[in-house]
């Protein structure tokens, strides 16, 4: 049996999922993780991207890249006790560490394989929840729910307007556009430690405002905070508003408005959330100078990938896509 899960790009709504805000990701057409396998007592998996074989028995924690498979299996056994393993191979064309959710893609693909092999009849939202639990509980990563739900619930040609507090989403058709996702060339070495720090800062700001989640705060509440907490809260509150405005722009097929919101998102991530770097900012400006309607960093920040959007038919988009380190480019509806 074969299972595939794409990577994802978050069009807008960065660093708000763990604060319970809305996000607007879309799946990367044809780019992701493929897992093939057959039933077995344990898990025996080889990966095209990593050396060696991951060999797991039920209940084992695993090591290296096999830890993700062990975590997924453990979460699956919580809801389907006694489910067996599989023997197979993992392959993919999704860059690791580029902010395109390679880890969630692997987890969702593996769980889809289990679902098919053992006829478990798990719904997409259940697979997404298991993948999220595997990352947070099994791997100990303090991540929000966006990535696995965007991958499991998303569909080609649509963005997913997803409420990270209620874990519900609806698909919005994407208008014609030319999109380039490219690697900034800057390693995300600081991203892991800074991610946890930013999350803790948002949680402190929420407690100070007396709200369960920072996304529940209102624009008027920001004035009650000072310094760093005020900047973090301002990003979250204004980014949530930008996601809702972007959804309206998609419904109107208003790419100009969408581009302005995407660029405003980058400015907020740079100035209020402080997760960009000068080298990334320069490349965002290069995309805008080349005619992009909007551009911004995507993912955790401190390097990684950049997203830029042009009108369909604008020759400057395909010309920009000829630059080095392009990860994906094309009509985001078709690939």
**For position 284, which CATH number holds?**
3.30.70.890
> Among the three residues 173, 189, 210, which one is the final residue of a domain in this structure?
173
- Active-site choice (17, 133, 147, 272): 147
Residues 162 and 275 in one domain: no
Residues 224 and 291 in one domain: yes
Instruction: Identify which of 180, 177, 308 has the alpha carbon closest to the alpha carbon of residue 254.
Output: 177
Residues 192 and 223 in one domain: yes
* Domain housing 41: 2-173
Choice between 201 and 49, residue whose per-residue pLDDT is larger? 201
> Among the three residues 156, 173, 190, which one is the final residue of a domain in this structure?
173
Residues 199 and 54 in one domain: no
Residues 191 and 148 in one domain: no
pLDDT at residue 189, rounded to an integer: 57
| Domain tally, the chain | 2
Q: What average pLDDT does the segment 218-242 reach?
A: 96
> Among the three residues 147, 173, 199, which one is the final residue of a domain in this structure?
173
Residues 181 and 323 in one domain: yes
Q: What average pLDDT does the segment 171-191 reach?
A: 86
Residues 165 and 264 in one domain: no
What CATH number should be reported for the domain holding residue 38? 3.30.230.10
Residues 318 and 169 in one domain: no
Residues 293 and 144 in one domain: no
d(CA 267, CA 241): 15
d(CA 225, CA 229): 6
| Spatial CB neighbours of 110, under 8 Å, sequence gap ≥ 6 | 3, 35, 68, 69, 72, 90
Q: Which of 101-110, 191-200, 288-297 has the lowest mean pLDDT?
A: 191-200
pLDDT digits 0-9 by tens, 93-129: 887 767 788 899 999 999 999 999 999 999 999 999 9
| Spatial CB neighbours of 40, under 8 Å, sequence gap ≥ 6 | 84, 85, 86, 87
Is 147 marked active-site?
A: yes
């Amino acid at each position: 049996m074969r299972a595939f899960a794409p990577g994802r790009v978050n069009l807008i709504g960065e660093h708000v999922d763990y604060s319970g805000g809305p996000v607007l990701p879309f799946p990367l057409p044809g780019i992701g993780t493929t897992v093939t396998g057959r039933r077995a007592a344990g898990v025996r998996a080889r990966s095209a991207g990593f050396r060696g074989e991951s060999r797991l028995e039920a209940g084992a924690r695993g090591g290296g890249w096999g830890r993700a498979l062990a975590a997924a299996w453990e979460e699956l056994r919580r809801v389907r006790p006694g489910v067996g393993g599989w023997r197979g191979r993992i392959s993919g064309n999704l860059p690791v560490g580029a902010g395109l959710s390679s880890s969630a893609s692997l987890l969702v693909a593996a769980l889809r394989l289990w679902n098919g092999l053992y006829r478990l009849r798990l719904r997409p939202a259940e697979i997404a929840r298991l993948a999220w639990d595997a990352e947070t509980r099994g791997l100990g990563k303090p991540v929000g729910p966006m990535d696995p739900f965007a991958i499991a619930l998303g569909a080609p040609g649509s963005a997913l307007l997803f409420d990270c507090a209620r874990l519900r989403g609806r698909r919005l058709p994407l208008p014609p556009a030319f999109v380039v996702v490219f690697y900034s060339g800057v390693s995300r070495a600081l991203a892991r430690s800074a991610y946890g720090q930013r999350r803790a800062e948002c949680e402190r700001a929420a407690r100070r405002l007396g709200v369960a989640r920072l996304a529940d705060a209102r624009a008027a509440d920001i004035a009650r905070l000072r310094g760093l907490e005020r900047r973090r809260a301002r990003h979250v509150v204004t980014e949530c508003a930008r996601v809702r405005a972007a959804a309206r722009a998609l419904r109107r097929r208003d790419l100009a408005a969408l581009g302005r919101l995407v660029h405003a998102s980058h400015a907020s991530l740079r100035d209020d959330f402080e997760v960009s770097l000068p080298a990334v900012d320069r490349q965002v400006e290069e995309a805008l100078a080349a005619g992009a309607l909007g551009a911004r960093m995507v993912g955790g920040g401190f390097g990684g990938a950049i997203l830029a959007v042009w009108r369909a038919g604008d020759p400057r988009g395909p010309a920009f896509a000829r630059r080095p380190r392009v990860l994906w480019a094309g009509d985001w509806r078709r690939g």
